[in-house]
Amino acid sequence: MVSEEIICFLRKKGTLEILVEIGHEPQRHTDLREKLLLSSSTVHDRLKAGIQHGVWEQRLQEQPDGLSKKVYGLTGLGRQIRDIAQDENLQRAHIAKRQVVRQATAKEDAVIQSLETDQANRDKANLEHDPQAGIGD
The ranges assigned to domains in the chain are: 1-88, 91-128
Phi, psi angles (nearest 5°) of residue 60: -95, 135
Measured between alpha carbons, how far is 103 from 95 in angstroms, rounded to an integer? Answer: 12
Query: Which pTM value belongs to this model?
Result: 0.73
What would the pLDDT profile of 81-100 be if each residue is shown by its tens digit? 999 998 888 888 888 988 99
Closest CA to 75 of 95, 57, 53, 50: 57
Query: 55, 6 in Cβ contact below 8 A?
Result: yes
Query: Which position has the higher pLDDT, 116 or 69?
Result: 69
Q: 3-class DSSP state for residue 74?
A: strand
pLDDT-above-90 percentage for the chain:
64
- Number of CB atoms found within 10 A of residue 98's CB: 14
C-alpha to C-alpha distance for 26 and 44, rounded to whole angstroms: 15
DSSP at 12: S
CATH number of 1-88: 1.10.10.10
